[in-house]
Amino acid sequence: MAAARAGIGIDVGGTKIAAGVIGPDGTVGARSRRDTPAADADAIARTIAEVVEELDAPGAPVGVGAAGHVDLEGVVRTSPNVPGWVREPLQARLEQTLEGRPVVVANDADAAAWGEYRCGGAADVDGLVLLTVGTGVGGGVVIGDRLLRGADGGAGEVGHLIVDEGGPRCNCGNLGCLEAHASGTAIGRKARAAVAEGHVRSTSPLSGRAPGGAEVSRAALDGDPDAREIIAEAGRWLGVGLGALGNVLDPPVFVIGGGVMAAGELLLAPAREAMVERLLGRETRAVPPVRASALGSDAGMIGAGLLAGESTAPRVSADGAGGA
Amino acid sequence: MAAARAGIGIDVGGTKIAAGVIGPDGTVGARSRRDTPAADADAIARTIAEVVEELDAPGAPVGVGAAGHVDLEGVVRTSPNVPGWVREPLQARLEQTLEGRPVVVANDADAAAWGEYRCGGAADVDGLVLLTVGTGVGGGVVIGDRLLRGADGGAGEVGHLIVDEGGPRCNCGNLGCLEAHASGTAIGRKARAAVAEGHVRSTSPLSGRAPGGAEVSRAALDGDPDAREIIAEAGRWLGVGLGALGNVLDPPVFVIGGGVMAAGELLLAPAREAMVERLLGRETRAVPPVRASALGSDAGMIGAGLLAGESTAPRVSADGAGGA
């Protein structure tokens, strides 16, 4: 057992840096926010250092959730949304810049999975699979009380399950990834195709427009049947992915976050139905619950802060009496 | 650390029961073999007891790898190939029958994964994903030195990744599972379709026949180009599944077993190629090796014996000096 302490959690995305002081129970104290100078790795590191200074938590360890492939040494190999990061040794650089503070760098969705696991949508069980359905589909896996990072830090990329080989082009260049069918980007693409092909009623708020994913969600929540069908289709594809993941991992719970979760049950209900149909032996097995994220867009920041506070905590014996 | 001892490993499939005395290093001593009385759960349990008696290893713990969904209490919920097993409390029943011997029951492919991990194709790393490509596609997952059984014992069913939603019908009833494209059954189906549609040269040994998967493998190994293309297609689909699994789990190694592996590199080379194309960030990440099984058809029996010997071993301290 490790006695956790407060950590600074920093979520670095393609457009913004969100930071906060995170208590051992996941509560968020002071916060800070900046734009991401995404083209310039030096500027990102300086901005992170400024944010840490501003948060005024002397000596607190720092956890960073970085949007990209983060290896086990905290090097960001590549990042689709932060072009300045190419084999960027972020952890080593921040350890040097933030003299004396321990630093942990992980993938942003992995950090979010840890947050949901420790004090969010999966706080009552011993693991989860998180899917964040936004512009893309990301995620993270916790199994047996451990964050799964994989042999080279590449684990948790659940958006790149191939569910429809040969299907629509994904941002990653492949065809038929889950992300190409269930992301906000995919929802927007399908809505624009439906409008162009005349499959949208003239009374729909989507009619005559070139809607994005968020617009489709809003129209669906307002009751538009065409928008609802487009969200439901994305939900069914999400369920195909959940079924595949259920067959391979059989997690205690799925947690779904990301911007598209604004659509709530309009997305989740068809996802659950499609998942159950695809679970092997579904008549006699437990079906994993599919829950909405409890931490929302704070999940990555909170998880990063928890990872930092926990991984740098002094080890104590199981009875809590002492330690080295 | 646990000091392992010898265990009896028993692999119960739809047609045969294979058993042996398994040393802590995976070596196989005495062996026994019976037909599976698959329609009758009582008869299966009696046959297992006879085999244990015959192997003459007094007091040795017993591990069973069972072809079916095995829950965490060792109940076989259902089994596609052993109709006598419906909510069969196999572990409890054997504990009673085999008075005093500890008993562990796990899924057969999970047991095989443990065997390959401990003393087979993944003995040098800290985990693996095993795929057994035979009549169906089964498998197992070891992560961080632990066999992944899942919340309800349902983990490791890698054959039921949906890779081609809406595609060919799988034995499980769904459409487009990996098993429906890459199993021996799928290879036979595709070969028969190729023959029927006149896509097979008249010089091919498949011509004018209704070949099964094993026949296609033999013809491919004998150099028949039509058979080779059918095996390569199955290999490419296998690679789609490996790519998906690589993106979610990033394992240190994939190990491929099962009868279709008779085709060896004719299957594995196209699988590797298709996998790499589908790995996210493949330009900058480590690519998991894809290896042939080292234990072959003994993997389940050996793994079951190891699971029994290890799980019932007395706990010792890390320095090996003693323990209670």
Residues 100-129 of chain A whose Cβ lies under 8 A from any Cβ of chain B? 125, 127
Q: Is residue A2 part of a domain?
A: no
- Average pLDDT in the A303-315 region? 84
Element (H, E) at A34: strand A28-35
- Domain region containing A242: 124-293
Concatenate the DSSP letters of all residues of B6-22 into one string.
-EEEEEE-SSEEEEEEE
Q: What is the pLDDT of residue B3?
A: 60
Q: What is the pLDDT of residue B94?
A: 97
Give the E-state strand segments of A101-226 in sequence order.
103-107, 128-133, 137-143, 146-147
Burial profile A219-246: b = 16 or more Cβ within 10 angstroms, e = fewer: bbeeebebbbbbbbbbbbbbbbbbbbbb
- Please say if the pLDDT value at position B323 is more than 70: no
Q: Is residue A205 part of a domain?
A: yes
- Average pLDDT in the B197-219 region? 95
Concatenate the DSSP letters of all residues of A234-295 into one string.
HHHHHHHHHHHHHHHH--S-EEEESGGGGGTHHHHHHHHHHHHHHSTTTTTSPPPPEEE-SS
The Cα of B197 is separated from the nearest Cα of chain A by a number of Å equal to 23
- Average pLDDT in the A303-316 region? 81
Cβ separation of B278 and A249 shorter than 8 Å? no
- The chain A residue lying nearest B247, using CA atoms, is A157
Residues in chain B closer than 8 A to A156 (CB atoms):
248
- Average pLDDT in the B266-292 region? 96
B291, β-bridge pairs: B255
- Please say if the pLDDT value at position B145 is more than 50: yes
Could you tell me the two tokens for A87? 């084999």
Cβ separation of B285 and A69 shorter than 8 Å? yes
Verify that A289 and A156 share a domain, yes or no.
yes
Verify that B12 and B66 share a domain, yes or no.
yes
Could you tell me the two tokens for A14? 């393609």
Verify that A181 and A40 share a domain, yes or no.
no
B22, β-bridge pairs: B7, B28
φ, ψ of residue B13 to 5 degrees: the values are: -105, -175
- The chain B residue lying nearest A138, using CA atoms, is B248
Q: Is residue A323 part of a domain?
A: no
Q: What is the pTM of this model?
A: 0.94
Verify that A43 and A91 share a domain, yes or no.
yes
Q: Which residues contact B246 (CB under 8 A, 6 or more apart)?
A: A154, B254, B275, B278, B279, B287, B288
DSSP state of B266: H
Q: Is residue B1 part of a domain?
A: no
Q: Which of B151, B158, B279 sits opposite A251 (nearest CB)?
A: B151
Q: Chain B contact for A284, CB < 8 A? A: yes
Verify that A195 and A289 share a domain, yes or no.
yes
Backbone dihedral region of A272: left (phi > 0), alpha (psi from -120 to 50 degrees) or beta?
A: alpha
- Please say if the pLDDT value at position A115 is more than 70: yes
Residue B227 identity (one-letter amino acid) = A
Q: Is residue B319 part of a domain?
A: no
User: In whole angstroms, what is the distance from residue A274 CA to residue B66 CA?
Assistant: 28
User: In whole angstroms, what is the distance from residue B111 CA to residue B254 CA?
Assistant: 16
- Average pLDDT in the A11-22 region? 97
Could you tell me the two tokens for A73? 């040494």
Residues 20-59 of chain A whose Cβ lies under 8 A from any Cβ of chain B? none
Write the CATH number for A97.
3.30.420.40
Each residue's pLDDT tens digit, A163-177: 999 999 999 999 999
What is the count of structural domains for chain A? 2
Give which of A258, A253, A248 is closest to A109, Cα–Cα.
A258
Q: Which of A144, A160, A237 sits opposite B280 (nearest CB)?
A: A160
